[in-house]
Amino acid sequence: MRHSISVFSFLLLITLVSCGGDDTPAIKPITSFDQDRFFIEPGEAVTFTNTSENGATYFWDFGDNTSSSEENPVHEYQELGEYVIRLTVTSSTGDRIATTSSVFVGNRWALGIRVESINFLDPNGDPWDDDDSGPDLLIDFFKAEDLRSEFFLNFGNDYVESDFPAGGPLPPEFQVMFTDEDWQLAFFDNEDPLAVPLNSTEMARFTFNPMTIETQKDYLLGGGIFEIEGNGYRFSLLFQIR
C-alpha cells in the first residue's frame, strides 16, 4: 500500500510540472511615433521619432513599397501623393501592436501676395504720375521664358505710402503651380481704361526661381513664404503644398 501511494504521488508531481508550462506574462507594447513633417515636396525627407514603449523590434512601412527596421528612421519621398506610414512594434513576448500616420507629397502653388512697399519715384527721381497722386498699381506675374501672364492684379488707383501693406489671397484661377525655372514679377503704373500691362508704364521687374529661392516653410500646415526686396520694393509670395 505504501508503495502504491508513493507511485501515485510521483505521477501527480510529474503531471503538475508538465501542465505548468511557460507562465511568463504577455508584454503588450505601446506603439506611437512623432514625425517632423506632414507636408513635403518631392525629394524631401521625413524624420520619424519612435516614442513606443515595451518594444523589442520595430517594422516601418512607409507606404511607398519601402520599409525599415530602424528604431528612428529618416525616409525620403520622391513621388507625389499621400502616403500612410505604419509602425508595428513587437515586444519580447511576441505581442504586436501597430499605429499609423500620413505624409502628403505635393507641389508648390501660389497662394497669395503681400506688397510691403514700392518706390514712388521713377529712375529720374520724378513721381510716376504727373499730378503726384501716386501710381495706379498693377502687378503682372509670368514665366520669364514665354512672358505669358499667369496672373495680373489691379490693386487700385492713386496708391500712396499709407496704402501699404497691400495684397492678400489670390483668387483660385490665379493660384498657379510654381515650376523650377525663372519667373518674373513686374510692377506697373496702370494706364486707364485698360488694366493690362501692355498699356501701362513699367515701374520695376524682378526675376527669381520660386523653387530655389530661400523660403520659410511650415512642414506641419503645408504652407510657406518667400520675400523679395530691392530698389525700394519689398513683397512676399505665399505658397501652399498641395
Instruction: Judge whether residue 105 has pLDDT over 90.
Output: yes
* 108-241 carries CATH number 1.10.287.110: no
Predicted TM-score (pTM) of the model is 0.82
pLDDT band at 13 (very low <50, low <70, confident <90, very high): very low
CB neighbour list of residue 169: distance below 8 Å, 6 or more residues apart: 111, 112
| Confidence at residue 18, expressed as pLDDT on a 0 to 100 scale | 43
Distance CA 33, CA 50 (A): 4
Question: Contact at 8 Å (CB) between 223 and 111?
Answer: yes
For the record, the C-alpha cell of 153 comes out as 492684379
Instruction: Judge whether residue 131 has pLDDT over 70.
Output: yes
3-state SS class at 47: strand
Handedness of CA 197, 176, 111, 170 (dihedral sign): positive
pLDDT band at 152 (very low <50, low <70, confident <90, very high): confident
For the record, the C-alpha cell of 226 comes out as 518667400
Q: Quote the mean pLDDT of the chain.
A: 89
Of the candidate CATH numbers 3.40.50.300, 3.40.50.1100, 3.40.50.261, 2.60.40.10, the domain formed by 33-105 belongs to 2.60.40.10
Question: Contact at 8 Å (CB) between 88 and 96?
Answer: yes
Residue type, 221: L
Residue type, 87: L
3-state SS class at 173: helix
Model pLDDT for residues 194-242, shown as the tens digit of each residue: 555 566 889 999 999 999 999 999 999 999 999 999 999 999 999 999 9
Q: What are the structural domain ranges in the chain?
A: 33-105, 108-241
